[in-house]
Amino acid sequence: IPLQVLTLPTSPHPDQRPGTNGLRKKTHVFQSEKNYLHNFIQCIFSSIDLRDRQGSTMVVGGDGRYFSSTAIQAIVQMAAANGVGRVVIGQNGIMSTPAVSCVIRKIKAIGGIILTASHNPGGPDRDFSIKFNTASGGPAPEAVTNKIFQLSRTIEEFAICPELRVDLGTIGKQSFDLENKFKPFTVEIVDPVESYANSLRNIFDFAVLKELLSGDNHIQIRLDAMHGVTGLYVKKILCEELGSPANSAINCVPREDFGGDHPDPDLTYATDLVETMKSGQYDFGAAFDGDGDCNMILGKQGFFVNPSDSVAVIAANIFCIPYFQHAGVRGFARSMPTSAALDMVARATKIQLYETPTGWRYFGSLMDAGRLSLCGEESFGTGSDYIREKDGLWAVLAWLSIQAVRRQSVEDIMADHWRTYGRNYYTRFDYEEVDLDAAVEMMLDLELMISDRKYQVEAADNFEYSDPVDGTLSRNQGLRVVFKGGSRIIFRLSGSDSFGATVRLYIDSYEKDINKIFQDPQVALAELVSIALQLSQIHERTGRRGPTVIT
């Protein structure tokens, strides 16, 4: 008997404006507020032209966090009712964000829905997010997210096949007959790793990497998946295929609450890995966030590679990666708050550099136009133009490829880089879950202060970006104070919070004297930090004695 398609009445929710990482809220909001989940899903489908939607293919994945399975069932039921012909889902609903982007592009899907709150914790009282990626494989551009938000303000009904149920655990195809539909609706459960792994095999020299990880003179590595989705990929690619010992990878079983921890690959939350690396037993270490798009690189004795330096090192050694030997390099890009370390490499190599607002979608626009090959953000994100998302495992394989060619340690590679290009000392202070009104008032007052120019600065502004591809203007992307010599103080409100606001303070200062490039960043930047704290009065305004996280 064909399954019934229903159109059910609903009422709008006023707070469904997607941020840079989709619609992120506390999990209980999606669970308890009437039709909150269904409204937003319907608005995603309604944002796609009906002619394009009919018979199309959609990809669904995520990091397996709490509430994902329930949400996937609803997404499939609504996809069927909205004319989508096929939905491709990672087994058990799990597929990393970079893998979703990869699959969208390979099978020419109309888009994908990713269920993740990235590095935020999961669970009934923690965070959940729904993110829409377009046919390019990248995050929906602002025009699309604005359209989704406008639809959410006026929605009156949604379409659904409530009796349709999918077995998420069995790989293969499932077909369903729907009333008034000529063709069956198909759900395809796929291995979440294989298609993505095939792409990596075409980018990196797996034979060289296997020799590095399991040959006669192999290095010792330690990889921490933090109970996120990347554990599946690390086990299959790094351990099973490239020969790294099974015990070199830890916390590789995805859990819906990430083991009760915060799946954020930084010095604050990846403490198990940091302490293990300090023992000196391992040559290379890396951690990944919940959905697999972010990474942290460590060397022996816990040597920390700042994410801004990481993308600069990859750029300086980019032809250690076979993909770029064949495809060439079109351009580099970084987000505005990211340090200018990449700028130094771009200047030396005479490769075009782009400075964008925070958000991977800005990089995607440049990639789609054929202008960009490698990019990165200070928030532990690095990637290239083979997909349209940042990619934690790609960054790790890039670093291992550089080590395999140069036969140097992480620390020596980094030291050589600073000697060649100079060093950008960099730090970031996060003040999390502060009162939103107090944060906004502080930013408004700061903007007035820096516009007065009573401080001896070279430039001060509220960063705005004109997309060189389509001319789209993005305003209010962060307050910048630029001193003579290039040192910068930046203040920005994060757009990825489910509660309150996160104020981020960034300090970036360039040093080319080789006798001064090996200082502790917090010591080297102490004076600029003091200026920033006095300028903003952030502790007084937020009621905080100090930052929640220091990177």
Local structure of 419: helix, strand or coil: helix
Question: 3-33 burial string, b = 16+ CB within 10 Å, else e?
Answer: bebeeeeeeebeebebbbbbbbbbbebbeee
CA distance 56 to 39: 21
Q: How distant, in Å, are the alpha carbons of 105, 112, 146 from that of 135?
A: 7, 8, 17
Amino acid letter for position 460: A
The first and second tokens of residue 261, run together, are 């921890």
Amino acid letter for position 458: E
The first and second tokens of residue 178, run together, are 């729907």
CA nearest neighbour of 38 among 60, 61, 84, 7? 7
Q: How distant, in Å, are the alpha carbons of 24, 76, 150 from that of 15?
A: 10, 24, 11
The first and second tokens of residue 165, run together, are 């149920």
CA distance 423 to 420: 9
Q: What is the dihedral of CA 476, 481, 482, 484, to 10 degrees?
A: 160
Answer yes or no: are the C-beta atoms of 465 and 362 closer than 8 Å.
yes
Q: What is the dihedral of CA 494, 498, 499, 501, to 10 degrees?
A: 0
Q: How distant, in Å, are the alpha carbons of 239, 250, 386, 392, 394 from that of 317?
A: 25, 29, 18, 18, 15
Active-site positions?
Answer: 118
Element (H, E) at 81: helix 68-81
CB atoms within 10 A of CB 503: 26
CA distance 62 to 69: 10
Q: How distant, in Å, are the alpha carbons of 92, 383, 431 from that of 99?
A: 15, 13, 31
CA nearest neighbour of 300 among 396, 411, 417? 411
